[in-house]
Structure 1
Amino acid sequence: MNPAARLQATLELLSEVDSASRPADAVVSAWFRTRRDIRDEARGEIFELLYAVLRHHARLVWWLAKHGRPATSRNRLLAWLALGEGKSRDQIQRLFSGGRFAPTALTDDERGLLGRLQGGSIDHPAMPEDVRAECPDWALEPLRRRFGPAFPREMAAMLAPPPLDLRVNPLRATREAVLTALRGLGLAAEPCRLAPFGVRVAERPSLSRLPMLKTGEVEIQDEGSQLVALLVDARAGDRVVDFCAGAGGKTLAIASQMANKGVVIACDVSENRLKRAADRFRNAGLHNIQTRLLSSERDKWVKRHKAGFDRVLVDAPCSGTGTWRRNPDARWRTENAGLETLLPLQASILDSAARLVKPGGRLVYATCSLLPEENEAQVEAFLAAHPEFQVVPLREAAPQITDSGHPQHLSLTPARHGTDGFFAAVMARGDAKLTS
């Protein structure tokens, strides 16, 4: 696949991402599944170019507006080639040749645009702070308050491509064996700094190069997500609920901690997500997991199993601001990230799931958000309404995590910890009676 053909493929994929209601990662996966003839090297180059355009969306739109051009998929790609990759107008024109498998030839207007952009860089002193930071208006002030002077550094970290983090399945392999196997494949693999079963691969290889994914020896999971599962502190023989299990990544981590003893119930309101998760559970060789489809967070199943579990994890639906480096398109998809709906839903889910915790048990509330409204504020409101629960300080819940960024809770950020942004609070239930 020559460079012009890769550009045309990227342009097609970018157009699909722009027009789809689904996240970019889902669109990309579906797109490549229908084009199995594209080799791994070309797939990697298409992926990297696509995500470079997505990560620089606000700045590319700013440049195009400055020159009176609409922010179409094609214009953004042209602007990135000029400003991000430093290609000259003549170089770009040779790629946009109109030949077989190549993008259609440049118009006079496009050549004029490239002439104005030539020699520039992606950043410009006149850009507003939110544009330079690739931060949507609705999140700018909350994130400024959250980070203070560290705001520019944190936002810059969310513009960098993330590494590939893997979690070793201790039922199938050891971390040392996986590291040896990855290095044998020519990959630069190191142990994660905080997660005891984590492995970090600096580059992003084609997943087809990793046979240990097919055998269930490893799962793809960001180090921060692994640490959230670690906070559940599930023991062999425990009864555990993953209340918003989704694709089952944290369920897998929790169940493996229990050495296939006890039971983990993966709950979700999506039957499709649970079916996909069940396939992952079988591939990992985990037999202590059950799935439960809920009609809503107030499903009658919750009341019937009140105070029946040692550990309950609430990985709540959230704005996903902590995953922007991995999902750069997400920041532009929904005005206010749906916070007017998410905040009351998070509170309702937490209130309902708490009923499942038995006296002496623990409740873990987590999000992949960096916004205090979804994190500390939710925990404070919950504790005020549920005096039977008390915070378990992080130094007690996970003494191995010494750089949390918060005195009581887990609070991870890309710049400080090299992970996605995650928040988690551990709360223990005393003997006070739970409401129904």
Structure 2
Amino acid sequence: MRAAGRIAAAIEVLGDVTARHRPVADALKDWGLSHRFAGSGDRAAIGNLVYDALRWRRSSAFRAGEDTPRALTLATLRFRWGVGVADLEAMGEERFGPGPLSEAERAALAVDRLGEAPADVVADIPDWLEEAFEANFADEWIEEAEALAARAPVDLRVNTLKSDRARVLKALSRHGATATPISPVGVRLPARAGWERAPNILREEIYQRGHVEVQDEASQVAALLLFARPGEQVLDMCAGAGGKTLAIAAHMENRGQIHATDADAGQLAPIYERLKRAGVRNVQVHGARSDLSALKGRMDRVLVDAPCSGSGVWRRRPETKWRLSPEALARRVEEQAACLDEARSFVRPGGYVVYVTCSVLPQENEAQVDDFLSRAPDFAPVSAGEAWEELFGVDGPKPWSADGMSLTMSPAATGTDGFFVAVLERMAD
């Protein structure tokens, strides 16, 4: 497909996403099934443009003067991809292009008015979240919000049960692989620009043989901050597909026992195949709604990777930024509190709960921990910052810490997804 046809297709897909509130992946799949002439490269390129239009939805709508799929797409091409007005005009008139520019479109695309926009528009976040971002990131909140709108790299975790980072870096050198700056077991493939397609890691031999897993560096760091030791008893309460479970198993060198469970059976389903591929032998999977009473009071460490808004992973799922509502956030906060209260019962005296979210919102993070500590006088916070320095040193990227104990990773500060980590110790009887 020519660029003009891809632009027209992106407008069509974006219209489907916004009208039906669908995930981009589903809309792209359906579009591909009904347009068999489009190759995988075309579908990936169209997806790039759709995702980018959603990343910068508010600023693009301001620049274009309207919030329609066509306006968002054209503004993204002009102001984010650097396509000239004359080129857009020419592509619009091609046979399978998006159609000629109107006079209003030419005028809007000719001059960048973003400097006149309110701060929350520049930051590309829902207006009702401005206060939360400013509370968490102070004077740098716009920079942090803008970083959450950028494309993310592909981060991989080296499975040290089967390989090492030097070997993985060599195998992926043709993709521009580099070592991650924080995680000692991370490998990063740079984000691509424009139409360029990201490599399909799932087709690589080192992935199929279990030498690497796709996992953002922040998620790797969160698993390391659990400080799980070989031989310990660990509960991963909200294991999902098992990314952190696999990381913890590698840190524990397949010794000890990890109990992995999740309330959502569908989320947990992929863990079995992933454990097999990774060569993990010290994980016992407990299905959704399993009776875990035998584990109570016995765990050395409990990981609570709580359900959350997902605001920290907007780089990867930009459509979710615009679906989040105050009501949905309030429901997540309630679920998180319930998860923490449940986790409390599994920890032995002297053990730890590590509370993690992929969120940058204080309601889900510091405030949640404060509320838990007010209900759980037998728990006390441990400095995650000191743990960070012990693991990663003092000279590298620094996370945020609003309370001096917990920490928040973010794209602008640490070059990662947005992740919050708090370590809570159950005091000995």
- Report the TM-score, using the length of structure 1 for normalisation: 0.87
- Separation of aligned partners in 2, 1:37 and 1:361: 58
**Equivalent of residue 424 in structure 1, options 421, 424, 427:** 421
- The structure-2 alpha-carbon separation of the partners of 1:253 and 1:3, relative to structure 1 and needing over 3 Å to count, comes to same
1:15 paired residue number: 15
2:399 paired residue number: 404
Preserved contact between residue 366 and residue 422 of structure 1 (Cα < 8 Å): yes
- The structure-2 alpha-carbon separation of the partners of 1:305 and 1:27, relative to structure 1 and needing over 3 Å to count, comes to farther
- 1:90 Cα deviation from its structure 2 partner: 5.1
Preserved contact between residue 194 and residue 223 of structure 1 (Cα < 8 Å): yes
- 1:105 Cα deviation from its structure 2 partner: 3.3
- Separation of aligned partners in 2, 1:420 and 1:243: 21
User: Which amino acid in the other structure matches residue 235 of structure 1?
Assistant: R
- 1:132 Cα deviation from its structure 2 partner: 0.8
Preserved contact between residue 91 and residue 97 of structure 2 (Cα < 8 Å): yes
- 1:47 Cα deviation from its structure 2 partner: 3.0
SS in 2 for 1:340: helix
Number of corresponding residues? 416
- Separation of aligned partners in 1, 2:263 and 2:158: 28
In the alignment, structure 1 residue 392 sits paired with structure 2 residue 387: no
2:336 paired residue number: 346
- 1:134 Cα deviation from its structure 2 partner: 0.5
- The structure-2 alpha-carbon separation of the partners of 1:30 and 1:163, relative to structure 1 and needing over 3 Å to count, comes to farther
Preserved contact between residue 324 and residue 331 of structure 1 (Cα < 8 Å): yes
Alpha-carbon RMSD across the aligned residues, in angstroms, is: 2.5
In the alignment, structure 1 residue 274 sits paired with structure 2 residue 268: yes
In the alignment, structure 1 residue 206 sits paired with structure 2 residue 199: yes
In the alignment, structure 1 residue 5 sits paired with structure 2 residue 5: yes
- Separation of aligned partners in 2, 1:392 and 1:17: 43
1:378 paired residue number: 368
- Separation of aligned partners in 1, 2:83 and 2:190: 27
Report the more deviating stretch, 2-11 or 34-43.
34-43
2:195 paired residue number: none
- Separation of aligned partners in 2, 1:257 and 1:35: 46
In the alignment, structure 1 residue 315 sits paired with structure 2 residue 305: yes
Show CA shifts across 1:38-58 (max 9, x none).
Answer: 555434432322222111100
1:166 paired residue number: 156
Preserved contact between residue 86 and residue 119 of structure 1 (Cα < 8 Å): no
- Separation of aligned partners in 2, 1:175 and 1:422: 23
Counterparts of residues 8-157 of structure 1 (less than 5 Å): 8-25=8-25, 27-28=27-28, 38-39=38-39, 41-64=41-64, 66=65, 69=66, 71-87=67-83, 91-97=87-93, 99=95, 102-103=96-97, 105-106=99-100, 110-121=101-112, 123-157=113-147
Show CA shifts across 1:130-163 (max 9, x none).
Answer: 1111111221011112111112221222222111
Show CA shifts across 1:296-333 (max 9, x none).
Answer: xxx7x244431122211001111122122222222111
- Separation of aligned partners in 1, 2:304 and 2:205: 32
- 1:114 Cα deviation from its structure 2 partner: 2.2
Unmatched segments (≥5 aa) in structure 2: 193-197
Preserved contact between residue 164 and residue 220 of structure 1 (Cα < 8 Å): yes
- Separation of aligned partners in 1, 2:76 and 2:399: 36
Report the more deviating stretch, 387-396 or 409-418.
387-396
**Equivalent of residue 233 in structure 2, options 228, 234, 239:** 239
Show CA shifts across 1:221-272 (max 9, x none).
Answer: 1111101111112222222111111121111111121222222222112212
Unmatched segments (≥5 aa) in structure 1: none
Preserved contact between residue 83 and residue 117 of structure 1 (Cα < 8 Å): no
2:286 paired residue number: 292
- Separation of aligned partners in 2, 1:197 and 1:232: 15
SS in 2 for 1:46: helix
- Report the TM-score, using the length of structure 2 for normalisation: 0.88
1:192 paired residue number: 180
- The structure-2 alpha-carbon separation of the partners of 1:137 and 1:46, relative to structure 1 and needing over 3 Å to count, comes to same
